[in-house]
Structure formats: C-alpha cells, structure tokens
Chain A
Amino acid sequence: MNNPQLDKNGQLKHLLSIEGLPRAILTQILDTAESFAGVSEREVKKVPLLRGKTVCNIFFENSTRTRTTFELAAKRLSADVVSLNVGTSSQSKGETILDTVDNLIAMHADMFVVRHAQSGAAHFIARHVGPHIHVINAGDGRHSHPTQGLLDVFTIRRYKPEMHNLRVAIVGDVLHSRVARSEIHALTTLGVPEVRVIAPKTLLPTDVEKLGVQVYHDMHAGLKDVDVVMMLRLQNERMSGALLPSAQEYFKCYGLTQEKLALAKPDAIVMHPGPMNRGVEIDSSVADGNQSVILPQVTYGIAVRMAVMSILAGNTEAA
C-alpha cells in the first residue's frame, strides 16, 4: 500500500501521522526546526519562504492554542493565513467536509492545516485534494497529532541529545490520546530504546505493546530511572464513562508529584502537551519546578511547525 504522505520521490507531500514516516524524514524536520528556533529569537521573526502562499487552518474541532501556533508559524514564513473555525460556520449548516475543502481550494489555498474530531479525517481530506496542495494534520480524533509528537521529540533532543540511551515514560490516558500515539511512533522510529506507558488498564488501548512500548500499571515502578516523563491530559469526561472513579484517586495513583518524580533520574525532564489539569495529572510544584520544560515546548512548537510547512512547500511537484 503506498504511503499517502510521500510523493513518488519519497519526499513529504502531506504530514498526516508519524507512523509510516521514515526516520530520515523525521530527522530532516527536526534539523530544519533547529534553524527556525533561532529565527524566533530575532527582532524580525519572519523569513520569506512562504511568501505568496495561502495557508488555511480548518479546525472542525475547536482549539485556540494549537490554531494560534499554526497561525504564527505560517505568518513567520510570510504566508497569508486564513483560519476557519468550522463548528461555528457553514459545517453546522450541513455543508460536508469536502464541500468546505473544495470552497477553500477554489480560493487558491496551497496548504491546509486540519483538526477534526474523527480519526482518519486528515487522511480523508488528503485523498481528496489535488497534487499541489499539502495537508497537515493538526489532530484527528484519537489517531494522530504529528506536529505535537515532533515538537515533543525536538524538546527531548534539545535537553537529552543522546537519544539512543534514553528511558521515556508516557503517563496517563493513552487510550484517548492522539498525542501519545504520535509520541510513541516518533520515539520508537528515532531509536529510543525504552518507551514506557503508565496507566490503569481502562486507559490503555488493546494490544498497546504491539506499538513497541512496555506497559506499567504501577507508577512507582514505571518512573524508576527514567530520563523523560511525558504527562498526558486527563479529560473530565473520563470520570463519567466508567473508566475512572474520581480525579482524586487518579491523582493518587497516576498524578505526578515531587515525591514520584524523585524516582526518576535526578536530571529527568517533565513534559506536558498542555493544557494542564493542575492537581489531576500533575502537581503545580512539578509543573512550575526546575525540571519542567513545559514552556519551552510551546516555543519549539512554532519552530517545528515552521519546519514542517517549509519542507512541504518546498516539495510541491513542478507543475
């Protein structure tokens, strides 16, 4: 089955999921992002790479933070940016996804950044667009959030460059998390030798070990000697779906406190894709503590997204 993300030359055409991407492409994105991180620190934070191009953010599922970082990334590449929050516009009037996309294509959009509540939505849209249009998945259901996975490993690489020696633990609701799936694929593809998931059985997908991770139900055992702790957000609705009894019990067993963090290596870093539920999955003192790299993650998010957009725009097949 040919990989829908790659063009016939094996170059990136769409970014839909980390799964299925060769290691070389992941590394290319991360290396390119290094340069963009520098751009963000300058006075003039723009470069002219996407001048004249139109980037459309189509968010069928609301998100202010992710949409804002994509907008910033596109603007810093000098692109024209259009953001559509479809929940409030024509979609709710019954317009199909494809009609929405077709209308934007008719307005000469070059790149779509798509977020949708259904797994597979980005693949669905990518199948439909013509060869000169690129699709970036900004999160589809539980399936994938590739730019988040990338910015997470970019962050890890910055603080812990010896990736072939690391132990990484992902803690929380893996079952419902597209971020976790993308993180797992990115880490395993880049050769991180030990990736652990720590969660109660109700929050782990069936056969999760087949993704290349070690499963722990006991957080004390799971955090022992890890170099990186990646926390996942716990949605409120998990308490009402017969998955968990209460936020208090969850925090007791799976919340990250100073005491539990001490089981990891002393120089371990703490990450969170945000937004955080303080006191549910993570204690404030840890979130704000000196091992936390949660704020730098946000900064790197812009650089990584700029890298993805530039690489895609540069791979447009000659007409």
Chain B
Amino acid sequence: MHLPDAEQLLAKLAEAIRPLLTGSTALVGIHSGGAWLAERLQPLLGEDIPLGTLDISFYRDDFSRIGLHPQIKPSDIPFDVEGSHIILVDDVLYTGRTARAAMNELFDYGRPAKITLVALVDRGGREMPIHAEIVGTTIALDPKQNLELARDAAGKFQLKLTGAA
C-alpha cells in the first residue's frame, strides 16, 4: 500500500487550521505522535500560540486489563485551559478512545470554550462518537494493521504500516 507523505499532510493541516485561530487558541498534542505534530505546527501557525502535551495513560479505559504503561511522560499544560479554544492534535484517529481520554484529562485542567480535533490520518473504525473537524487524509485499513507516525533523526515524519493485511 502506498502511504501518503506525512510532511505534506502536516503542511495541509497547518493551512486548514490557520483560519480557525483566535486570541484564545492553544495547541495540545497527544503523546507521542500528536505531541510531535503539535510541536511542528506551533512555529508554522504562530510562535506565541501556547503549546501543551498530554499523556493519556492515567485516563485510558483499558487500565484494568493492561495496567500502567511502562513509559509515562508527564502531561504539560502550561496555560489556563479555562475558556480557551483547544486545537487537540493526534496522529492517527481510529477507535476514538484516545481522543475521549484526552478530553477527559483536559477537563480536569479546566473548562475549555471549544475543542477542535485535528488528525493527520483518519483510518475509520470509530467505536466512540468522536469526529475530527480537520483531517489530513482518510485511509481504510484492516483491523489487524497498525498505522504509526515515525520521526527520523533529522525530525522528518513518515507514516509506517505494520501487521498483516
């Protein structure tokens, strides 16, 4: 399967987000792929836009089954969530559970005025009523396949597909 160019998709996301920016916009990326994307989007959209990252390990709905992830990075929200317009960035939107967990966590920081979900790739297969307003591209995949965003030593993004078709 030919995967789209992640860098091109990133540029496309930036253009789609730009018209939505207001004075209270903040970028929040979900670890790890979403956080990388948000870090790259910030200089493209405006250095003064607040940037935060979320590790959703403490909000996952499968904790009792699989336990705590061995590598947890601290969440970092260095701005006031109360009344803000959050651009929530994730790399691959699939079941929607990650986005749900991220929203639960955001609400523990404060009450945002609005949350806009942005995904580099939407692969369908939603199990929650979650909708991304801005999407880089849509790909249909088999449930056994795993789509990931990778970042090389130079910081360049690439989409990687693993698992049987």
Contact = CB atoms under 8 A, between A and B. Distances in A.
Chains A and B in contact, CB within 8 Å = yes
Nearest to A314: B67
A317 to B, nearest CB: 10
Interface in B72-100: 72-77
A38 B109 contact: no
Interface in B57-72: 57-59, 63-68, 70-72
A43 B55 CA distance: 17
A314 B68 contact: yes
A42 B57 contact: no
Interface residues of B, number: 24
Contacts of A28: 70
A47 B60 CA distance: 10
Contact of B72 (A11, A32, A313, A315): A32
Interface residues of A, number: 23
A35 B59 contact: no
- Interface residues of B, dominant DSSP: loop
A73 B101 CA distance: 21
Interface string B116-129: 00000000000000
Contacts of A37: 74
B104 interface: yes
B108 A46 contact: yes
A49 B74 contact: no
A316 B55 CA distance: 22
Given A28-B70, A38-B74, A316-B64, A47 B109 contact: no
A35 B57 contact: yes
A48 B109 contact: no
B109 A42 contact: yes
B143 interface: no
A32 B108 contact: no
Interface in A291-319: 310-311, 313-316, 318
Contacts, number: 56
Nearest to A53: B64
Contacts of B73: 35
Contacts of A42: 77, 108-109
Given A35-B55, A47-B59, A311 B68 contact: yes
Given A44-B109, A47-B108, A311-B68, A38 B63 contact: no
B58 A49 contact: yes
A48 B104 contact: yes
A61 interface: no
Nearest to A24: B70
Nearest to A311: B68
Interface string A40-57: 001110111100000000
Contact of A35 (B63, B74, B104): B74
Interface of A: 11, 28, 31-32, 34-35, 37-39, 42-44, 46-49, 310-311, 313-316, 318
Top 9 A-B pairs ranked by shortest CB distance? A314-B67, A44-B108, A47-B58, A314-B68, A35-B74, A38-B74, A35-B72, A310-B68, A34-B74
6 contacts: A31-B71, A34-B72, A42-B77, A49-B58, A49-B63, A314-B64
